[in-house]
Amino acid sequence: MSRPDPATVDPEKLDRLGEVAVRIGLQLRRGQDLVMTAPMAALPLVRRITEHAYKAGAGLVTTFFADEELALARYRFGADESFERAPAWLYEGMGKAFEGGAARLAIAGDNPLLLSDQDPAKIARANRANSMAYKPALERIVNFDINWTIVSYPNPSWARVVFPDDPEDVAVAKLADAIFAASRVDQADPVGAWREHNARLHARTAWLNEHRFQALRFTGPGTDLTVGLADGHLWQGGASTAKNGIECNPNIPTEEVFTTPHALRVDGHVRSTKPLSHQGSLIRDIEVRFEAGRAVEVRAAQGEEVLSKVMDTDEGARRLGEVALVPNSSPISQSGLLFYNTLFDENAASHIALGQCYSKCFQGGAEMTPDQVQAQGGNKSLIHIDWMIGSGQIDIDGIGQDGGTVPVMRQGEWA
């Protein structure tokens, strides 16, 4: 088979990434179908993943491609009323595929600034319509009904954003190397490296689950935030078992351990430590004040209008659905790069997420109904947006059931 890989992308490491996506990210089972989404530029990786999926005994592999120029054409020439619509028929089909047992794989790599010059109101309307239409499929993912994962490809348009001072071929090569290192496919035995890494993350979650903290307190420059934790919360990290019984790594790379905050018990103020790239817009220097779980004051040095519109998506969009801990010494943090991609940047720093919670982050979550999740403090929303609040200057304390405190992180490192 011909392989149209850019000369700057190492074909051996790209093949290892495809293998890791199937064997570690998905743990795809014989006879299981796979639904994949990807940018057009990621075709070389799609081909490798497809090969490894069929070698693992996949049933059918179906891929949906997106193109940046086609996305821009909608904003430049589309009728205004079209921004209230989304392809519900497509998402209904995906939902049925997941209901029938298909696995889900997304390849990230779009230009993070693609929509930066477009009308924020149109972006918000399109995002809301898309979120509502995608809900039947998304619920299967966020409720961890199926095995799913996300990996990345060094799309040239993304590489130019991360390395703006380099020629395109150099930028692509640098971004490819960074993706391969963060995904652990630059090692001789990537599958073994992932198993060791998962064991370390599981040790962290075990320690946190033993302590049963009622809240976490983040303190540092511009931040004094107390995040109450949901009743019966459960810390997760690394590989997890989906409701279909398959253990998978939802994110490649991943450095986080995470759980569900209580939607009504978040108080204080917090300042972001890295920019947030969301739907083609860059949002910098976010400052938010929470009262009784709700974001009541929101500011940003750049992209404030976009952030405000996102928070107006629904009632749950102003409340937290996730809190995650990442040491400042994580490989992604130490790379010194800003990827403009949440999959990577969230693994460089501790973070919180506005919007939908994960039901798997509860004891017995697999058997809980949405109403039971909400009764124990889980948040419900059409969105789930992570933004980074950790750094080498942030301390985190766990607040016990008796009100006592235990150091969890000091200056960004595990205490």
Q: What pLDDT was estimated at residue 1?
A: 37
Distance CA(316)–CA(299), nearest Å, equals 18
With 0-12 / 13-18 / 19 or more C-beta atoms within 10 angstroms meaning exposed / middle / buried, residue 26 is buried
Distance CA(60)–CA(64), nearest Å, equals 13
- Write the DSSP symbol of residue 356: -
Distance CA(36)–CA(258), nearest Å, equals 25
DSSP-assigned states of every residue in 292-339: TTEEEEEE-SB-HHHHHHHHTSSGGGGSEEEEEE--TTSHHHHTT---
Q: Which residues of 303-315 are buried (b: 16+ CB within 10 A; e: fewer)?
A: bbebbebbbebbe
Distance CA(124)–CA(169), nearest Å, equals 34
Distance CA(404)–CA(212), nearest Å, equals 12
Q: What pLDDT was estimated at residue 5?
A: 56
Nearest to 270 by CA among 282, 257, 285: 285
Element of type H or E holding 384: strand 384-388
Q: 3-class SS at 58? A: coil
Please state, as a whole number, how many other Cβ atoms lie within 10 Å of the Cβ of residue 56.
17
Domain at 11-182, CATH from 3.10.330.10, 3.40.1830.10, 1.10.10.60, 3.40.50.10790: 3.40.1830.10
With 0-12 / 13-18 / 19 or more C-beta atoms within 10 angstroms meaning exposed / middle / buried, residue 404 is exposed
DSSP-assigned states of every residue in 2-25: -----TTS-HHHHHHHHHHIIIII
Distance CA(86)–CA(120), nearest Å, equals 17
Distance CA(229)–CA(399), nearest Å, equals 10
Can you list the alpha helix ranges (DSSP code H) found in 37-119? 43-55, 68-77, 88-99
Distance CA(412)–CA(333), nearest Å, equals 11
Q: Domain ranges in the chain?
A: 11-182, 211-236+255-414
Model's pTM, two decimal places? 0.86
pLDDT in tens, the chain (415 residues): 334 455 679 999 999 999 999 999 999 999 999 999 999 999 999 999 999 999 999 999 999 999 999 999 999 999 999 999 999 999 999 999 999 999 999 999 999 889 888 998 898 899 889 989 998 898 888 888 999 999 999 999 999 999 999 999 999 999 999 999 999 999 999 999 999 999 999 999 999 999 999 999 999 999 999 999 999 999 999 999 999 999 999 999 999 999 999 999 999 999 999 989 887 778 999 999 999 999 999 999 998 988 998 999 899 999 999 999 999 999 899 899 989 888 898 899 999 999 999 888 999 987 899 999 999 999 999 889 999 999 999 999 999 999 999 999 999 999 9
